[in-house]
Structure 1
Amino acid sequence: MVPQLSLLKVLAIATTLAFGLKTAPLHADPQRSPPAAAAMAAQLMEQGQMEAAGRLLTTARQRLPNDNDIAFMLGMLAMAEQDYDGATNYFREIIIRDPQAVRVRLELGRALFESGNYRDAGRQFRFARSGDLPAQVNANIDRYLVAIRERQTFAWDVSVALAPDTNVNSAPSVEEISIFGLPFQLSEDAKRHTGVGLLLNTSAEWSPHIAERTRLRLGGSLYRTDYSGGDFDDMLASAYLGPNFRRNNTELSTLLTGFHRWYANESYNQGTGIRQELTHYLSSRTQLHTSLEHQWVRHEKASNLDGTRTSWLGTWQFALSPSSGVMGLLGISRESTKLDVLSNTVYRGGLGYYRELFGGLTALIQPEYLQARYDDVTPAFGVERRDDLWRTRLRLTNRRWVYRGFSPELTLIHSSRRSNIELYEYDRNQVQLGLTKLY
């Protein structure tokens, strides 16, 4: 259980709820002493003179608006007054200027925890956990992370963006192909089209307690892209429901799943299935997750594609430093249809690197490789289809600009698929510029 300390203990004993750190101004540069105003404000706060400390810090901030020590003490004052949103803003301000400020991340995590923003609090604590901290501090961080997993029962994400795309229909670059040894011109619908779409991506999950170590998971997601004319509009809705069992650092879920996809604003396919998920927190810095799913799929206008899909995906995340992290994924999926020529197996692998940069900018680079192998010879081309897809994603988020919990985000995606059948080769560049929920 997370310890509950009185206001005076918070001020006199620790800056991070018994993290074992003194209540004193933050030293951005260990070679200089903190501003006199911040040091004096710390003394006033320890004596319980909050109003005097506030006046002193407000005056000093007008003179030194970008001083980390003053911002830190204003954040601590806001914490003492239980103004957790105000404290969050002060601590974020410092992190933007100094992403390596571990002590500030601890306070930011605590402010977010107290305000009920458990998802972001956990993120800050995991990054702080990768710093060089005393054993007592690490133990308290671990207790916070356990409490977060216990208390969080609702999570949601949403992002909207303008999405220019050089190949909205993933069409080949060529205009002529050879079928049964004869040349054929691609129709206008089959040729590559460019466009600017509007993208919506949102998800939510509610997981209330139904027993001491058991929860009910109920969630869903909606993805939609809209283009002019509607010929390439794409929408996918999915939902899941099932129990989640928790013991120590391991979670196991058995979920009933369903999805429905629309393309060009017409029903394309739908399916139901069952998914088994396993999440294990190997340490406070490392998370492992696997999922195994089997689905029964039915297509509206192409019954020869009806069949089953079985997929396994494993991911891991590791906080590398107080401002960076790495992630990886491995996967395999099997699609069995009524025709062997359409049945296939896909192998997938990828890595990612995340880093918070100065000025509030964060970057994620994530290359990924997919290999598809089909079961039988495609009669028109005389070979078994073999595809290799490389995809690289670069995402930039500006955490300095926040409006009602949303920040601007720019995503660049380059995809290149090579195949032994020229019809299925393509290159594609996507740009997504919009707003995303800040975590």
Structure 2
Amino acid sequence: MGAWLTEDQCCTVRSLNVEGIRLHAANTFKHADRAAWLKCSWTRSDVNLGHSSFVTLTPSPMTKIQLNKALAFATLLFLLATGAVLASNEDLQPSSAPDESEARALLNSGQFEEALTILRPMTKAHPGHTNIHFLMALAAIETSRLMQASNEEREALLDEAIAALHAILINHPGLVRVRLELARAFFYKEEDTLARQHFEYVLAGNPPAPVVGNVQRFLNEIRARKRWSVYVGSTLKPSTNLGRNSETEIINIFGLPFRRDTVEEEKSGVGLSIWTGGGYWYPLGERTRLRFGSDLAREEYPGKEYDQSFVGAHVGPQWLLGANTSVSLLLDSRQLWRITSPYYFDFGVRSEIKHRLSRSIWLDGQASWHDREYRKLDYLDGSTLNLTVKGAWVVLPTVRLEGALGYADDHTKSKVWRNDTRWGRLGASVILPRGYTVGGSTEFRRTRYEGNWFPFTSGEPRKDRTKIYRATVFNRAFTLYGFSPQFAITHEEKNTNSQVYGYDSTSGEIRFVRQF
């Protein structure tokens, strides 16, 4: 028969401490060669913004990993192939309407108001004739630029043109000429973010050299006149596991199974997230500006235990280095609240660089260092370093690829919680007929901790691997004040050698995306 556990062994497992996590074992023991059950209760300090809880993780079989990779690769190929088909050889076709030739002649002679007078009733008489709607939009854009047009008339004409061009692109997203005029309409309305987005898609359509030159001038003007920006958004966030908790009851210490007295249940529910912010660029010279900006966000969930608020602010110079590069150096501060209490405060520096490699490829780089101070969890105080490189490639007028690589280092006071993370993400989006836009991305993260994570490991440092899969869809044909509802679903899996820190979570989002 096997030996009984000694009193020394009892003391060893009776009170085990890892900073932020404490295990208490009861005095009930059974024979060591059988299942030795120790009733355990767990207490922990919240050290994770997402309320990560405890789970015993079973490694995924290789076949599942291979299947996930194959599905992600097949989806990417499908999106690219679909976009290529949509973008090929789509063009405007003249209609047989008798007045179209007259309207076209008026446009060619610069008589835009007269052409618009003819084309407006034609769009109602021929709702399915794409070319008539395009000519009407073109006439409205040019009429808005006439000297005698008031600001109100100008705005109304541009809105009329934008609505007509948007309607065409719902079913014909590969029409580069239509997208070019839509970009111009946004530019004249000073909706520069949307104008730049559509100009970038135009360049991916390999337009003639004179058109490329004109588009580049528009883009340069957008950058030169940029003075301020504002954003606002909200989303509903249903989730199957709000706190990323697990109902796993058993862990193993010294080869013995422990049962947790209290297991946090996986809680499902719907959260509400709202955010806003903006920035101002004050000109200090021809190629130098002073940037100011702030960001605010709030998330609320049922029961209030996962509520959080965020406020950030930055200030610093920006330099325009040539036509394709800008560099910023910013002082940056951030404050996070959990429920209604301050959680941590960051203060540091952030540098940003934006560079256009070609007319359809962009790179963004960011490096930041912050000193972080927690209100209660002193052992987590320390510094954070983040390095990120992002790239975007508009492959076709209907296909966009995005990728990112990153590195993060948290140098906490406690060696146990010191860690570094390496991550990468690849995604694609495709503009489809009937107004649909679909997208998907895959992200992989690897985190390594420095300290001894016993009893959650056998004594080695903790290592996490996280996979995040995301899919989105929205319909451009359905808009409310220029916004379309976007539906997103995200699945996240964390594999770890630490018995209690893995989780599996699926969540959704319903947000509104600006269309026009």
Q: TM-score, normalised by structure 1?
A: 0.89
Q: Which residue of structure 2 lines up, in the alignment, with residue 106 of structure 1?
A: 180
Contact kept in structure 1, 2:297 and 2:309, CA below 8 Å: yes
**Counterpart for residue 378 of structure 2:** 303
Partner AA of 1:230 in structure 2: K
Does the alignment pair 1:411 with 2:485?
no
Aligned partner of 1:293 in structure 2 is 368
Partner secondary structure for residue 278 of structure 2: strand
SS of 2:235's equivalent in the other structure is strand
- State the 1:50 CA deviation: 4.8
Instruction: Go from structure 1 to structure 2 and tell me whether the alpha carbon gap of 1:405 and 1:62 turns closer, same or farther (over 3 Å shift).
Output: closer
Distance 2:138 2:224 in 1: 26
Q: Which ranges in structure 1 are unaligned for 5 or more consecutive residues?
A: 1-26
Report % sequence identity: 29
Which residue does 1:230 correspond to in 2? 304
Aligned counterparts of 2:438 and 2:345: Cα–Cα separation in 1: 35
What is the CA deviation profile of residues 2-22 of structure 1, one whole-angstrom value per residue up to 9, with x for unaligned ones?
A: xxxxxxxxxxxxxxxxxxxxx
CA distance in 2, matches of 1:391, 1:156: 29
Structure 1 residue 33: deviation in Å? 5.3
Q: Kindly provide the CA deviation profile for residues 156-185 of structure 1, in whole angstroms up to 9, marking residues without a partner as x.
A: 332212211111111134233345645132
Partner of 2:215: 141
The 3-state SS of whatever aligns with 2:118 is helix
How far apart are the structure 1 equivalents of 2:515 and 2:499? Answer: 42
Structure 1 residues 186 and 157, CA, compared in 2 at 3 Å: closer, same or farther?
Answer: farther
The 1:33–1:405 alpha-carbon spacing in structure 2 relative to 1, beyond 3 Å, is closer
Residue 362 of structure 1 corresponds to 437
Residue correspondence of structure 1 range 265-276 to structure 2 within 5 A: 265-276=340-351
Cα offset for 1:390?
0.5
Partners of 1:92 and 1:55 lie apart in 2 by 21
- Cα deviation, 1:322-358, whole Å, max 9, x if unaligned, reads 1211111001010011111100000010111121111
Q: What's the counterpart of residue 242 of structure 1?
A: 316
SS at match of 1:100: coil
Specify the alignment match of 1:322 in structure 2. Answer: 397
Q: Deviations over 1:118-139 (max 9, x none)?
A: 1111111111001132111111
Aligned equivalents of 2:404 and 2:398: distance in 1?
A: 21
- CA change 1:240–1:29 in 2 (3 A) is closer
Separation (CA, whole Å) in 2 of partners of 1:410 and 1:80 = 37
SS at match of 2:238: strand
Aligned to 2:235: 161
Task: Give the secondary structure class of the aligned counterpart of 1:427.
Answer: strand
* Deviation at residue 51 of structure 1 after TM alignment: 5.4
Residue of structure 2 aligned with 1:175, choices 213, 224, 249: 249
Q: Classify the secondary structure of the residue corresponding to 1:228.
A: coil
Superposed displacement of residue 186, structure 1: 5.8
Does residue 91 of the first structure (1) align with residue 171 of the second (2)?
A: no
Partner of 1:396: 473
* Residue 72 of structure 1, aligned match among 103, 120, 134: 134
Question: Which residue identity is paired with 1:314?
Answer: V
Within 1, Cα distance between the matches of 2:273 and 2:346?
23
AA aligned to 2:309 is M
What's 1:56 paired with? 118
Alpha-carbon distance between aligned partners in 2 of 1:265 and 1:175, rounded to the nearest angstrom? 31
More strand by share: 1
Aligned to 2:73: none
Give the deviation of 1:419 after TM superposition.
Answer: 0.6
> Which stretch shows the higher mean deviation, 404-413 or 105-114?
404-413
Alpha carbons 2:116, 2:140 under 8 Å: kept: no
- Following superposition, the deviation at residue 229 of structure 1 comes to 1.8
100, 106, 109: which one aligns with 1:44? 106
The answer as to whether partners of 2:231 and 2:278 remain within 8 angstroms in 1 is yes
Larger Cα-atom Rg = 2
Letter in 1 for 2:447: A
Q: CA deviation at 1:209?
A: 1.3
Structure 1: distance between partners of 2:502 and 2:309: 24
Structure 2 residue ranges without an equivalent (≥5) = 1-89, 145-156
Letter in 2 for 1:336: H
* CA distance 1:186–1:419, change in 2 (3 Å): farther
**Cα 1:347–1:216 shift into 2, 3 Å:** same
How many residues are matched? 411
Letter in 2 for 1:344: N
1:372 aligns with 2:434: no
CA drift of 1:28 comes to 4.7
Q: Deviations over 1:365-419 (max 9, x none)?
A: 1111110000121132233111001111212232222323322111111111111
Residue of structure 1 in register with 2:333 after alignment: 258
Contact 2:488 2:510 in 1 (8 A): yes
Structure 1 residue aligned with 2:407: 332
Question: Residues 34 and 240 from structure 1, CA distance in 2 versus in 1: closer, same or farther, beyond 3 angstroms?
Answer: farther
Query: For residue 132 of structure 1, what is the aligned residue in structure 2?
Result: 206
Residues 85 and 146 (structure 1 numbering): CA distance in 2 closer, same or farther, change over 3 Å?
same
Residue 434 of structure 2 aligns to a residue whose secondary structure is helix
What TM-score does the superposition give when structure 2 sets the normalisation length? 0.76
Higher relative contact order (CA 8 A, sep 6+): 2
Once residues 40 and 315 of structure 1 are traced to their aligned partners in structure 2, the CA distance between those partners, rounded to angstroms, is: 49
Give the C-alpha shift of residue 73 in structure 1. 1.1
